[in-house]
A and B are shown apart, each in its own frame.
Chain A
Amino acid sequence: MTDAPAGLTVVNGSVSPARKRITTILIHAALLGASILMLYPLLWMLAASFRPENEIFTSASIIPSSWSIDSYIRGWNGLRTSFGVFFTNSFIISILSVCGNVLACSMAAFAFARLQFRGRNFWFAMMLMTLMLPYQVTLIPQYVLFRQLGWVNTFLPLVVPKFLAADGFFIFLMVQFFRGLPKELDEAAQMDGCSPWRIYWKIVMPLSLPVLATAAIFTFIWTWDDFFGPLIYLSEMRQYTVMLGLRTFTDSTGTSDYGGLFAMSVLSLVPIFLFFLFFQRLLIEGIATTGMKR
């Protein structure tokens, strides 16, 4: 199922306009076909959210026998706290995380990529090491630590690490992109007497919009989708995130509300999809379009 567009990667020679048009049509056909594969789960979930509960697992057709928005109403208000609260919480945590990650990780990445200091390679190796240990074994020590800090049952364990660049993924990502910026830029700026801070803020950051947008998108989506952190650190329902709320719909041992689960799952996708749509425009800006490279 996944090979469809891959077959089209053989790049065309672009000789005649007619051939070019055929290629374009073929590409669109392949992309559309692949899109259906990508869309199918969403359509299924959408259908499930409108179905009667006892039809979700027993009906083979993707079209519900009857359409009902009961699941949405029940799901939104079904828990003691409305899903509106969960959405607000998820927003607060995700937006703060985006700010923290973009700022702190870009600073660290700037240091690693464009400044020289003793111990740089050592710290870089340490940073990579933090990526390699499965979180399952640091969970309890970390919980104990956050509890001593008095942060359990607050958003702090979920947000503060972001402002301290705790996710090495983004540092590494930005390092790779910062190193791709022409060094003549800093040299010139530095001759003009710019401080490292100004170079970071006025040159490197503006030129790195694509990677910063990438980091913002990933941070938002991954924080939104993160489940384990909120599970461990939040206990009161009014603090729950959307993902945590979704998990309470099903229990493998007893009665579950699948309709509510799928209805709220559909809704939970809306903000991250919109965030993606908005920020992906920044992906195509930056160096290539400003033509500053070289």
Chain B
Amino acid sequence: MAVQTVSPADLSPPAKQTSLWSRIWHNDAPGYLFLLPWLVGFLGLTIGPMVTSLYLSFTDFDLLTAPEWVGANNYIRMLTNDPKFWTSMRVTMFFVIFSVPLKLAFALAVAMLLNRGIRGLPLYRALFYLPSLLGASVAIAILWRQIFAGDGLVNKFLAMFGIIGPSWISNPNYSLWTLIVLSIWQFGSPMIIFLAGLRQIPQDMYEAASLDGASKWRQFVKITLPLLTPVVFFNAIIQTIEAFKSFTPAFIISGGTGNPINSTLFYTLYLYQEAFGFFRMGYASALAWVLLALVGVFTAFSFLTSKYWVHYDD
């Protein structure tokens, strides 16, 4: 019996069958029928604005008057004559490199801890998700200042050990780290996804391994991690894309300035300044498409390598 579900890796043509039913089954129709809502949305609502923004990236567009074609000027200026482009790129890269692995590791660790069937589990899960509930509330900006200012909670704590800390949030050497900490602190979403993934691992596999005398660590490496790889892969890709696009935390904490000395000038914050602060939507669109190209290359690379380490059950 060759009829089956298919994975992208498995592209061998299904075996020929003669009945009408199986011809439809093998046809493209079911796939496209299930895809229909998405296709309508993509073609009707999404692709148009995306293509428009691509067009705008080759224009001068000040939002208020008609766009004016300038060829590749925006891209040329960006790469040759815009130090802020490189500053924001550097800030964003630093943020991605440190926040994504730390956040994922933290989320996985807590998810594992919470998956042990300890008492009060739902309560902990809810508590740990709380910071993510707060989203981008104004309160976060005020709170982060209270914690990481010169006379903030962190320094009060350090003072007990005789350490005089700097004003972390407003010192250009450390300010980006306070945003990385914020990102890690809001680890709720990947944690929940990890938890859902852990729940899909059948308990009997662990039981069998325990009977064979495998240590917990060995079980983690041999069972948990491989079976969790699709979820790890998902979280890694999504968190990286989100980190590259990260806007709101920097926006609320620096009041949209990238303060101090552009040390938290995230790429999209710069893009936003250009678009809505300085009325250069054409240039901002070019910035956006450069980001898309960058993230696209990263994602494509991840998908290419994924077949070597992501374990699908198909």
Asked if A231 is at the interface (CB within 8 A of a chain B CB), the reply is no
Task: Write the chain A residue with the least CB distance to B276.
Answer: A136
| Structural contact, B199 and A191, CB atoms closer than 8 A | no
Task: Write the chain B residue with the least CB distance to A104.
Answer: B37
A273 proximity list for chain B (CB < 8 A): 126, 130, 133
A1 proximity list for chain B (CB < 8 A): 154, 181
The stretch from B38-46, B80-88, B159-167 touching chain A is B38-46
Q: How far is the CA of A164 from the CA of B45 in the complex (A)?
A: 9
CB-contact partner of B127 in A39, A134, A250, under 8 A: A39
B134 proximity list for chain A (CB < 8 A): 41-42, 269
| Structural contact, A2 and B216, CB atoms closer than 8 A | no
B1-33 interface code vs A (CB 8 A; 1 in, 0 out):
101111110000010000001000111111110
CB contacts between A and B, total, < 8 Å: 313
B250 proximity list for chain A (CB < 8 A): none
A117 proximity list for chain B (CB < 8 A): 27-32, 35
Given A116-B14, A134-B247, A173-B193, are A261 and B131 also a contact pair (CB < 8 Å)?
no
A110-133 interface code vs B (CB 8 A; 1 in, 0 out):
111111111111011011111111
Given A120-B8, A136-B271, A164-B37, are A27 and B128 also a contact pair (CB < 8 Å)?
no
B124 proximity list for chain A (CB < 8 A): 31, 35
* A287 CB to nearest chain B CB (Å): 5
User: In A1-41, which residues have CB < 8 Å from any B CB?
Assistant: 1-2, 5-6, 8-9, 11-14, 24, 27-28, 31, 34-35, 37-39, 41
* B73 CB to nearest chain A CB (Å): 17
Asked if B106 is at the interface (CB within 8 A of a chain A CB), the reply is yes
| Structural contact, A141 and B52, CB atoms closer than 8 A | yes
| Structural contact, B238 and A121, CB atoms closer than 8 A | no
User: In B117-141, which residues have CB < 8 Å from any A CB?
Assistant: 118, 120, 122, 124-140
| Structural contact, B138 and A261, CB atoms closer than 8 A | yes
Q: How far is the CA of A252 from the CA of B216 in the complex (A)?
A: 53
Asked if B305 is at the interface (CB within 8 A of a chain A CB), the reply is no
Given A13-B215, A120-B31, A177-B196, are A41 and B140 also a contact pair (CB < 8 Å)?
yes
A287 proximity list for chain B (CB < 8 A): 199-200, 202
Asked if A75 is at the interface (CB within 8 A of a chain B CB), the reply is no
* A195 CB to nearest chain B CB (Å): 8
- Using a Cβ–Cβ cut-off of 8 Å, how many residues does chain A contribute to the interface with B? 117
User: In B179-216, which residues have CB < 8 Å from any A CB?
Assistant: 181, 184-185, 189, 192-193, 195-197, 199-204, 215-216
Q: How far is the CA of A127 from the CA of B237 in the complex (A)?
A: 14
| Structural contact, A9 and B45, CB atoms closer than 8 A | no
Q: How far is the CA of A133 from the CA of B140 in the complex (A)?
A: 26
User: In A188-239, which residues have CB < 8 Å from any B CB?
Assistant: 190-191, 193, 196, 200, 210-211, 213-214, 217-218, 221-222, 225, 227
| Structural contact, A128 and B291, CB atoms closer than 8 A | no
Q: How far is the CA of A128 from the CA of B241 in the complex (A)?
A: 10
Asked if A150 is at the interface (CB within 8 A of a chain B CB), the reply is no
* B203 CB to nearest chain A CB (Å): 6
B230 proximity list for chain A (CB < 8 A): 176-177, 179-180
| Structural contact, A164 and B216, CB atoms closer than 8 A | no
A127 proximity list for chain B (CB < 8 A): 38, 42
A155-193 interface code vs B (CB 8 A; 1 in, 0 out):
000001101111001011100110111110011001101
* A245 CB to nearest chain B CB (Å): 13
B231 proximity list for chain A (CB < 8 A): 176-177
Asked if A286 is at the interface (CB within 8 A of a chain B CB), the reply is yes
Given A115-B34, A273-B126, are A137 and B45 also a contact pair (CB < 8 Å)?
no
Which of A110, A128, A138, A291 has most chain B Cβ within 10 Å? Answer: A138
B132 proximity list for chain A (CB < 8 A): 221
Residues of B whose CB lies within 8 Å of any CB of A are 1, 3-8, 14, 21, 25-32, 34-42, 44-46, 48-50, 52-53, 56, 63, 105-106, 109-110, 112-113, 116, 118, 120, 122, 124-140, 142-143, 146, 154, 181, 184-185, 189, 192-193, 195-197, 199-204, 215-217, 220, 227, 230-231, 233-234, 237-238, 241, 244-245, 247, 255, 268, 271-272, 275-276, 281, 284-285, 288-289, 291-292, 295-296, 299, 312-314
23 inter-chain pairs at a CB distance below 8 angstroms, sorted by A residue, are A6-B109, A38-B130, A107-B36, A108-B34, A117-B27, A121-B8, A132-B241, A136-B268, A138-B49, A138-B50, A165-B38, A176-B233, A177-B200, A180-B313, A186-B5, A187-B1, A190-B3, A210-B196, A283-B195, A284-B199, A288-B200, A288-B203, A294-B202
If A27-B116, A265-B138 are given as contacts, then 15 extra A-B residue pairs at C-beta distance below 8 Å, sorted by A number, are A2-B106, A48-B139, A130-B50, A131-B241, A132-B296, A136-B247, A136-B272, A137-B56, A140-B281, A165-B41, A190-B25, A250-B138, A284-B199, A287-B202, A288-B201
